[in-house]
Amino acid sequence: MQRNSDIPNIVKIEKIIDETPTVRTLVFSDEILSKVLPGQFAMVWIPGINELPMSVMISTEKGKAAFTVRKHGYASTELYSTKVGDQIGVRGPYGNSFTLKQGKLLLVGGGTGLVPLIRLLTFLNKSDDCTLIMGAKTKDEVFFEGLANKLLEQNKHKVIVVTEDGTYGEKGLVTDVLEKLLKETKFDAVYTCGPEKMMHKVVQLATAKKIYAEAS
């Protein structure tokens, strides 16, 4: 589903969730964006600033959508700094969704790149066996771990947290853990979202093992 116009739909920030000291989730009402497919994105207009592309976070409330934003760069910092009651403009959704496979799935995400992967979890079949590797620089920057485990309650699953400094979970990079897993286990598909360098490495490692891989 997509709007017929490129004119932004003006929405009001209804709730703000602090995920980490530098990451927030902004919740608003938008029937269309509440139903986007995993991998699609929206354009967000901040009055007086600019537009920026954002993945759409899930919400447990009907008709609600959300953006999870990190305070980094001018436009994203302005979006992060919005308050309850402030208005923003949204357009979309745009882009292609992930091609959903079934079976033993491996999801690899870093930072706010976890957003489309969290949405992907809501599209899994109960028979799917899902492993999610989520990366952060340090313990204070880990978010969505509890939510991921809750969404996967009905599935055989594993959530692996990796921090670069080793303050929580496994120490290193998500690609280090991925490389180890690919040697031990045969997966049917790999999905990834996050920093470009990370995604490139994930797809490279997966395709070398002849595993279907998609990046968003």
Give residue limits of the domains in the chain: 9-94, 104-215
Residue 101 makes CB contacts below 8 A (sequence gap 6+) with: 188, 189, 212
Percentage of residues of the chain with pLDDT beyond 90: 92
Q: By three-state DSSP, how is residue 46 classified? A: coil
Q: What is the pLDDT of residues 72-118, one digit of tens each?
A: 999 999 999 999 999 999 999 999 999 999 999 999 999 999 999 99
Mean pLDDT for all residues in the chain: 95
Of 167, 216, 168, which is closest to residue 194 (Cα–Cα)?
A: 216
* Secondary structure string (H, E, C) spanning 146-168: HHHHHHCCCCEEEEEEEECCCCC
- Print burial letters for 8-25: b (CB count within 10 Å at least 16), e (below 16): bbebebeeeeebbeebbb
Architecture of domain 104-215: 3-Layer(aba) Sandwich (3.40)
The dihedrals phi and psi of 166, each to the nearest 5 degrees, come to: 75, 15
Is the pLDDT assigned to residue 1 strictly greater than 60? Answer: no
Of 88, 76, 95, 73, which is closest to residue 30 (Cα–Cα)?
A: 88
Is the pLDDT assigned to residue 189 strictly greater than 60? Answer: yes
The residue written with tokens 């927030």 in the block is 24
Question: Does the bond joining 53 to the residue before it have cis omega, within 30 degrees of 0?
Answer: no
Cα-Cα end-to-end distance for the chain: 19
Please report the pLDDT score of residue 89 as a whole number. Answer: 97
Is the pLDDT assigned to residue 11 strictly greater than 90? Answer: yes
- Report the predicted TM-score, pTM, of the whole model to 2 decimal places: 0.93
Is the pLDDT assigned to residue 3 strictly greater than 90? Answer: no
Please report the pLDDT score of residue 87 as a whole number. Answer: 97
Q: What is the pLDDT of residues 44-80, one digit of tens each?
A: 999 888 899 999 999 988 999 999 999 999 999 999 9
CB 42, CB 90: distance < 8 Å: yes
Q: Which numeric CATH code is attached to 9-94?
A: 2.40.30.10
